[in-house]
């Protein structure tokens, strides 16, 4: 052996002790929620104390091999599960977070899951949104594998990251609903469930063998083919498409407008002038044009697309056409993937992506049905919410009045979020005339600021109104 068991365990113990020091620092910080402090001082410290005892016991047992508990503790440490939790807590900015939209997320998830949870908000410099759970699966694993049953916090911890510059940009909040979609897909194993609905004996699926090279003469049968595409492409694409569907089903057109706004933010001037929007398939994502087709299908399936004002429908069609006519060329890449310690090379090609699109297309009815069932009828956008959004935009935002209510009844939060886009796209000129300081010198910046301020106030006050109105 290159290093001794003693050296390895001493190094592991050193890492555990440094982590413990970090927890001591974190436990001395002030938190708005007692749950976070309790989680650090009781649960995380209990885990690292247990890990230290396991390693120390192995260090003194004079055996040449590691105990099963040490192997488990080391595995968790190598996966950086504990380190990621501490990093999330350390980077959380409890004073700077998108409070108003977070309340919408809380209400949505609580209604679906019926459980309490904590949200750790992490602003970032880069244009990145994410929403994922970082604790509960580890807790269950520790209870099962190491018999650790004395945890004091029985709730999920969700890490929410967002671009610092867009903290108060509710016009971009549709992107969050896509990320919440990822969270719901992951927590409910929805992608795996959909993947199992593939006809693995079909000619389309079996023809994928043509795109795979097997090293060292290893076998490539149906089982291997299933494992390859479960670990890449198909499962990844299903996750993205389900997240798109869930976003459309919850927030409707606001997701589409937010998403394309994000695209514009990340498109270079060169690509803009050359109609070169990024529209390629990859290991993790289907092409944007393929995603857009499904997004429109989901919107139409809810029977709300035809209810949209003509200008909004024209805007959505222009987005669709922009991708359909993109000059962006699909590269023919190849890459290795390891499944069960066997390497395979996948050669990307037009043939591969056509077959993947066909396989995925056959799953769309299942994806739509499962998404509806997961959300429940009350959390799915409908004609009434969009009609309310249109009225809020016309009767209130257009008049520079917060869209928190209609006829003295608290407005629906999803209607409020959509009303911002309705106002921006339908009444831009009216608002500019009505508010003198919006003179266009700053582009749409002042207009966006005004609409966002009205929406923020409305999400906050309408929530209070709904409580006392029952």
| pLDDT, tens digit (0-9, with 9 covering 90-100), for 167-217 | 888 999 999 999 999 999 999 999 999 999 999 999 999 999 999 998 877
What is the pLDDT at residue 452?
A: 94
What is the pLDDT at residue 44?
A: 97
How does residue 231 score in pLDDT terms, banded at 50, 70 and 90? confident
Question: Following DSSP, what letter does each residue of 89-121 receive, concatenated?
Answer: HHH--SSSS-HHHHHHHHHHHHHHH---EEEEE
Rounded to whole angstroms, how far apart are CA atoms 444 and 440?
7
To the nearest whole percent, how much of the chain has pLDDT over 70? 96
Rounded to whole angstroms, how far apart are CA atoms 171 and 104?
14
Give CA separation, 102 vs 13, 108, 297, 424, 448, in Å: 39, 10, 28, 22, 20
What is the pLDDT at residue 269?
A: 64
The two tokens of residue 324 are: 């359909």
What is the pLDDT at residue 458?
A: 96
Q: Where are the domains of the chain?
A: 5-163, 190-379, 383-469
Q: How confident is the model over 344-386, as pLDDT tens digits?
A: 999 999 999 999 999 999 999 999 999 999 999 999 999 999 9
What is the pLDDT at residue 341?
A: 84
What is the pLDDT at residue 208?
A: 96
What is the pLDDT at residue 4?
A: 87
What is the pLDDT at residue 275?
A: 65
Q: Does position 250 have pLDDT exceeding 90, yes or no?
A: yes
- Say how many residues make up the chain: 470
Q: How confident is the model over 19-53, as pLDDT tens digits?
A: 999 999 999 988 878 899 999 999 999 999 999 99
Q: Does position 1 have pLDDT exceeding 70, yes or no?
A: no
Mean pLDDT of 303-327: 90
Helix (H, G, I), strand (E, B) or coil at 233: coil
What is the pLDDT at residue 254?
A: 97
How does residue 438 score in pLDDT terms, banded at 50, 70 and 90? low
- The residue among 56, 158, 39, 43 whose CA lies nearest residue 105 is 158
How does residue 439 score in pLDDT terms, banded at 50, 70 and 90? low
SS3 for 364-409 is HHHHHHHHHHHHCHHHCCCHHHHHHHHHHHHHCHHHCCCCCEECCE
What is the pLDDT at residue 273?
A: 60
What is the pLDDT at residue 371?
A: 98
What is the pLDDT at residue 186?
A: 95
Rounded to whole angstroms, how far apart are CA atoms 139 and 144?
9
Rounded to whole angstroms, how far apart are CA atoms 238 and 192?
9
Rounded to whole angstroms, how far apart are CA atoms 105 and 116?
12
Q: Strands, E, within 253-319: which ranges?
A: none
- The residue among 85, 75, 77, 97 whose CA lies nearest residue 39 is 85
How does residue 247 score in pLDDT terms, banded at 50, 70 and 90? very high
CA 416, 176, 190, 118 torsion: positive or negative?
negative
The two tokens of residue 7 are: 């050296």
Rounded to whole angstroms, how far apart are CA atoms 174 and 181?
11
Q: How confident is the model over 44-97, as pLDDT tens digits?
A: 999 999 999 999 999 988 788 899 999 999 999 999 999 999 999 999 887 777
Helix (H, G, I), strand (E, B) or coil at 337: strand
Query: What is the residue whose two structure tokens read 């903290």?
Result: 167
What is the pLDDT at residue 401?
A: 95
Mean pLDDT of 310-323: 91
Contact between 427 and 397 under an 8 Å Cβ cutoff? The reply is yes
What is the pLDDT at residue 264?
A: 77
């Amino acid at each position: 052996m290159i290093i001794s068991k003693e050296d390895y365990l001493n190094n592991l113990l050193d890492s555990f002790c440094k982590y413990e020091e970090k927890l001591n620092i974190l436990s001395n910080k002030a938190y708005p929620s007692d749950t976070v402090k309790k989680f650090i001082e009781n649960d995380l410290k209990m885990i690292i104390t247990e890990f230290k005892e396991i390693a120390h016991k192995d260090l003194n047992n004079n055996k040449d091999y590691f105990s099963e508990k040490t192997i488990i503790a080391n595995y968790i440490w190598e996966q950086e599960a504990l380190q990621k939790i501490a990093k999330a807590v350390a980077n959380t900015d409890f004073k700077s977070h998108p409070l108003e939209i977070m309340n919408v997320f809380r209400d949505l998830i609580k209604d679906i899951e019926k459980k309490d949870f904590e949200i750790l908000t992490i602003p970032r410099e880069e244009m990145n949104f994410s929403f994922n759970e970082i604790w509960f699966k580890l807790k269950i694993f520790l209870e099962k594998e190491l018999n650790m049953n004395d945890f004091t916090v029985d709730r999920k911890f969700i890490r929410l990251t967002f671009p610092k510059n867009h903290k108060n940009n509710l016009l971009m909040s549709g992107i969050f609903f896509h990320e919440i979609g990822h969270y719901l897909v992951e927590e409910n194993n929805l992608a795996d469930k959909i993947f199992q609905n593939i006809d693995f004996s079909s000619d389309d699926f079996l023809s994928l063998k043509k795109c795979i090279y097997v090293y060292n003469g290893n076998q490539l049968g149906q089982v291997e083919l299933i494992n390859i595409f479960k670990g890449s492409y198909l499962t990844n694409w299903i996750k993205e498409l389900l997240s798109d569907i869930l976003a459309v089903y919850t927030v409707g057109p606001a997701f589409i407008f937010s998403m394309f706004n994000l695209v514009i933010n990340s498109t270079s001037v060169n690509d803009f002038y050359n109609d070169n929007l990024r529209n390629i398939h990859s290991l993790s994502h289907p092409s944007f044009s393929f995603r857009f087709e499904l997004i429109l299908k989901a919107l139409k399936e809810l029977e709300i697309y035809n209810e949209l004002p003509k200008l909004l429908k024209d805007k959505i069609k222009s987005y669709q056409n922009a991708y359909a006519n993109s000059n962006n060329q699909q590269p023919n890449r190849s890459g290795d993937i390891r499944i069960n310690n066997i390497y395979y090379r996948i050669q990307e090609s037009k043939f591969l992506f056509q077959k993947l699109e066909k396989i995925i297309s056959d799953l769309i009815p299942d994806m739509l049905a499962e998404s509806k069932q997961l959300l429940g009828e009350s959390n799915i956008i409908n004609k009434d919410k969009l009609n309310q959004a249109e009225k809020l935009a016309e009767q209130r935002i257009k008049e520079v009045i917060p869209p928190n209510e209609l006829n003295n009844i608290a407005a629906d939060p999803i209607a409020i979020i959509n009303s911002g886009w309705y106002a921006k796209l339908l009444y831009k000129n009216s608002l500019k005339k009505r508010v003198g300081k919006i003179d266009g010198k700053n582009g749409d910046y002042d207009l966006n600021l005004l609409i966002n301020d009205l929406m923020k106030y409305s999400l906050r006050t309408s929530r209070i109104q709904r409580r006392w109105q029952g």
